[in-house]
Amino acid sequence: MAIAAAGLAAALIAGAAAGAASSIGPADITRELLSRLPLGVESPLSDRQVAVLVELRLPRVVLGAIVGALLATAGAAYQGVFRNPLADPYLLGAAGGAGLGATLVIAYGDQLFDAPRALVPVAAFIGALAGVAAAYSLGSAAGRGGTAALVLAGVAVSSFLSAAQTLVQATRTEELQRIYSWVLGGLGRGGWDDVRSIAPYAAVSVVVLLASGYLLDLLALGDEKAQSLGLNATAVRLVVIAAASLATAAAVSVSGLIGFVGIVVPHIVRRLVGSGYRLILPMSLITGAAFLVLVDILARTAIAPAELPLGVVTAFLGAPFFLVILRATRHRSV
């Protein structure tokens, strides 16, 4: 945990240092941050550099860390509650449902509400719950298909939600550029207002998920064993799914669709700390935050001065990783 926290701190400083607007080194950033504490450290930055750091870079880095933490923790929770190593917000329809809900508010919110921006997380949460419920229902109806049935159901639901989202875009051509840039995923538009808007949702979902680690460890023993120990498996599943969907919705509402974070990070963490969710969940939170901050640095610098959509970068990194996991899961099930 200490190593992961140190890695996150280094990633945050590196993310704040990356950019062409003004050259600010990691050491100067560290001193600037320490100068805001009662430690007697003086800031080495000019007023212009402080403005660039505080108003442009820090909100993007903080938002990236929050989004990465939420997606990774939600992915780990989905894998625990479904006892499925391939469960992921992107594959289970949560991200697709959240994306459709947020897109509807972006496209039609100005006509129906006075403050549509504040409703984006709410609409995303409703869509995320609907997507997960549909995928899980379809996967369960397939009988004993196990991992394959759930993955196929998630792909089917995600495809349907994506088609619905495309239909909304086609009917709202004047908002197409705005919706399209959001769908590809990114943090370039993020500011302190976005951080404040998702902070309550992030705090609630993270607290619930971290407190559920022991319960997920009991669920891993099987429903009958868990119930014999006094656990209400159905209630635990509902609470964890709701919290993971809220985390996904909060992340999607400010960053767009960023896939594979929820499957890559928990599997890396599981290799490091074992299969106990009391460790997997907090480690996924810290590692997911560092992972997305580093990926955002890559998205900003790979084709500078242009910028790659963050969802494109995570797809390039995550798709091969997913195939490796799928192959390993198939070998274990044979």
User: Hey, which of 66-70, 89-93, 135-139, 255-259 has the most confident mean pLDDT?
Assistant: 66-70
Q: Over the chain, what is the mean pLDDT? A: 85
Q: Which two tokens stand for residue 18?
A: 């990356």
189-206: average pLDDT: 89
DSSP string spanning 54-114? IIIIHHHHHHHHHHHHHHHHHHHHHHHHHT-TT--TTTTTHHHHHHHHHHHHHHHHHHH-S
pLDDT, greater one: 173 or 307: 307
Q: Are 24 and 73 in contact (CB under 8 A)?
A: no
Q: Would the pLDDT of 290 be above 90?
A: yes
212-219: average pLDDT: 92
Distance of CA 284 to the CA centre of its chain: 11
pLDDT value of position 72? 95
Confidence label for 115 from pLDDT (cuts 50, 70 and 90) = low
Q: Would the pLDDT of 225 be above 50?
A: yes
pLDDT value of position 334? 42
Residue holding tokens 């660039």?
52
pLDDT value of position 321? 80
**In terms of residue numbers, what domain contains 148?**
2-333
Q: Would the pLDDT of 287 be above 90?
A: yes
The CATH code of the domain that includes 39 is 1.10.3470.10
Confidence label for 332 from pLDDT (cuts 50, 70 and 90) = low
pLDDT value of position 113? 65
284-307: average pLDDT: 90
3-class DSSP state for residue 237?
Answer: helix
Confidence label for 141 from pLDDT (cuts 50, 70 and 90) = confident
Q: Would the pLDDT of 232 be above 80?
A: yes
Total-model pTM: 0.86
Q: Is residue 18 classed exposed, middle or buried when 0-12, 13-18 and 19+ CB atoms within 10 A define those classes?
A: buried
- Phi-psi group of 46: left, alpha or beta (phi > 0 → left; psi -120 to 50 → alpha; rest → beta): beta
pLDDT, greater one: 87 or 203: 203
Q: 168 CB contacts (<8 Å, ≥6 apart)?
A: 100, 103, 104, 107, 179
290-313: average pLDDT: 87
Q: Is residue 268 classed exposed, middle or buried when 0-12, 13-18 and 19+ CB atoms within 10 A define those classes?
A: middle
| Domains in the chain, number | 1
Cα–Cα distances in Å, from 290 out to 90, 278, 286, 299?
Answer: 19, 20, 6, 14
Least Cα distance to 241 among 84, 139, 100, 89 occurs for: 89
